[in-house]
Structure formats: structure tokens, C-alpha cells
Amino acid sequence: MSRIVLGVGGGVAAYKSALLLRALTERGHDVRVVPTASALRFVGAATFEALSGNPVSTEVWDDVPEVAHVRIGQTADLVVVNPATADLLARAASGRADDLLTATLLTAHCPVVFVPAMHTEMWLHPATRDNVATLRRRGAIVLPPAVGRLTGPDSGPGRLPEPADVAALLQVVLDGGTLAHDLAGTRVLVSAGGTREPLDPVRYLGNRSSGRQGWALARVAAARGADVTLVAANVEDTAPFGCRVVPVGSAGDLRSAMAEHAPAADVVVMAAAVADFRPTAVADTKMKKGSGSEPTAVALTRNADVLAELVAARPEGQLVVGFAAETGDADDDVLGHARAKLARKGCDLLVVNDVSAGQVFGRPDNAVTVLAADGTVTTVPTGPKDLVATGIWDAVVPRLRTRR
């Protein structure tokens, strides 16, 4: 359990802070809500008090004997401001302490995360950009806003990320993962999920990939500033904030989507589980039992190796990251097989999952080893898939800089 201060700014997106509060308490954290006076015009103090089980105040004049404006910040493990309005970012950047939230920001020794939400014009204004740069320079994490529908009919960058995304990213910070703005300006293409190879209009051959590790890689890359395209094979989950999603079904669809989007990418991550084989013939109508043509076997045809094709066609400077789910056997151990695969596929990095004990599929936790073509081995220990994603990006980022 961690002690989290949830600062709430006065924007209409304040209503989503109640859902974030709920998500954080469900993860077992003790949350103290510190809204601004304007935030309470959007959501009442009673909502925050009931959901957090803690008192709510906005002014340094409440609870004076406890010296709350100093104590709340000093004792927190994490401060998150959600939503962070343009005004709140300005007040934080200039070091104001004119209410309980800004005073708390000045006394916090822990990581501080701002989750901005405002109109696009305000987000893009040089004053806001300078304030964000100042806060980042001082060590605060300022997440990029999502792109989408804003208050009223307009849309663009400035939307508050969904509470589930924010809660997952805050857990990364609490677990010690990096959410630096180090992928800014980087175009990332991630494939995730598992392909389905049709047999007839209702049946397919599939695999057990949940897409969660690819989702986490996309979400963390977006949080670290990347421009992310996510080619998603049969994943039902809500798209992570900040990512353009291209839905695909079969290995053939995935191959076309990757070929279309890869030329513009600085990094390509092939986290999808791509079927190696597809049924040679796809029936136009449902195969019926008892009919004269009842099938007795399914003939299979080899699919293209998408990763190998991407490596062969990659533009100068592009980094290609493959995945491998391996088991040890009589011929070699997991890393031995993985090294051979890295050499065979020709990618720059290979993220290796040991699936010997059937772990990984559909689980919230993962552990991987990242092998680099230069022989470097990085172990990313067991943790939630978003934390593992930060470990993978930590291995990618230094290689990007040297290639650009």
C-alpha cells in the first residue's frame, strides 16, 4: 500500500478523477484527495471523501494545528494531479503556494505526476509549453494528453487519459519504473495480440496471446512521448491513450498493416503472436457435420514471416524489436534458442519470454530477457506488464539515440 495524494484541478475532466480515485483505492492505496476550490465546482467534496475515506480540504487554513500544507506533501509516496489544468501547471511551474494543492506540490519529496487536460489551444500555447518544460526539467512527470473529443464538439490533443491508463502508469512510477519524456519525437509501431486464421465464416485457428504486453508497450511509449501506432490483432481491450489503433484479424491482414506503417517508424516492435500456418482452403459456407463433405483433416500453408520481411525492408536507422516465446529442450536452453532466433531473424533486439511452465499468457505479470544483436543481455525481472514495458523501452532508448 502506498500513500498517494490525488490533486484535482478545476476542469470539466475533474469528474474522471473520481474514477481514478476508485481505481487507486481498489489497488489497495491510501489516497488523500486535494482538490482546488474550482475543482469542487465540478465534483463535490462528499464524493471524494466517501470514495477515499479521508477528509478533503482545499485551503491551508483548514486543519491548521496539523500543518497540513507541509505534512501531506512530506509523507506522500506519490503526488498525482489529475486533471492538471493550464492554470494549475502555470502555478506549479512558478512555485506558487496559494492553496493546499500548490503548497503540497512544494513540500513533496516523492515523484510528482501531472496529467494535463485542457483545450488544444491552451495545451499548444507557448506559455503552457514553457511551463511543462520547466516542470519536466525539475523532475516532474508530465504525461502527454490524449487526442480525442474535448468538452463540446471539438477534438484534438488535450483530452484527459482514461483512469485505467493513468492508474496503470502511476503503478509503474510507484514500482520504480521510468516515465521520462525520452521517446518524444519518436514514431513507434507496435503489433500486439494474436492472429486468427479462418477455416470457414465462423471458425478460426488462433492462439492464446491476450495482447496485454503489446498494449503495455504502446501505453508506456505514449506516456514517454512517442507517437504510437498499434496494430492490434483481435484484442478487445480499450485502446491505450495516445495510440492510433489499426485493427487486424489474420496474419495476412497484420502483414499488410505492418508493411504500410513500418516505413514511417523509427522503432518497430513485433509483440504479436503471428500464426505460422493458415488453413490452405477457407470454406465459403459453414462446414456442417454429417454432410457428405465432412472434413477429416485441415491442410495448412506456411504464412510469411512478417518480422523477417520487416528486417529485410527496414529503412536506414530504424530499430526492429522481435519477441520470442521459448522453452528449453534437449537441444538447448531458452537463451540458447533465443540467441539463434535473434541471429536468424536479424532484428536489433529480441525480447525473450520463458514459457516453459506455461506462464505469461493472459497473466498480469511477466518477466523477460532482452537480447541485443551486439551481445548485451538485459534481465527485466517479474512485474506488472506495464513495468516490464518500461524495462524494455529502457533497453531500446539508448540504442535509438545512437542510430538517429
Q: Which residues are known to be catalytic?
A: 207
* Amino acid letter, 200: D
Inter-CA distances, 31 with 13, 115, 175, 367, Å = 19, 17, 17, 29
Report the distance separating Cα 270 and Cα 322, nearest Å.
Answer: 5
DSSP states of 221-289 as a string?
A: HHHTT-EEEEEEES--SPPPTTEEEEEE-SHHHHHHHHHHHGGG-SEEEE-SB--SEEESS--SSPPPT
Q: Whole-number minimum distance, CB 185 to ligand CTP, in Å?
A: 25
Work out the burial of residue 177: count CB atoms within 10 Å of its CB; fewer than 13 is exposed, 13-18 middle, 19 or more buried.
buried
Nearer to ligand CTP, 279 or 322 (CB): 322
Nearer to ligand CTP, 63 or 276 (CB): 276
Q: Whole-number minimum distance, CB 379 to ligand CTP, in Å?
A: 19
Cell 490524449 belongs to residue: 146
User: Please, are residues 224 and 179 in contact by the beta-carbon 8 Å criterion?
Assistant: yes
Q: Whole-number minimum distance, CB 377 to ligand CTP, in Å?
A: 18
Q: What are phi and psi of 306, to 5 degrees?
A: -65, -45
Nearer to ligand CTP, 169 or 321 (CB): 321
Report the distance separating Cα 188 and Cα 256, nearest Å.
Answer: 17
Q: Whole-number minimum distance, CB 252 to ligand CTP, in Å?
A: 10
Q: Whole-number minimum distance, CB 245 to ligand CTP, in Å?
A: 17
- Edge-to-edge, what's the strand order for the sheet holding 30-35? 30-35, 3-8, 78-84, 112-116, 141-142
Nearer to ligand CTP, 223 or 306 (CB): 306
Q: What residues make contact with ligand CTP under the rule CB under 6 A?
A: 251, 270, 272, 274, 276, 303, 305-307, 322-325
Nearer to ligand CTP, 240 or 322 (CB): 322
**Coil, helix or strand for 214?**
helix
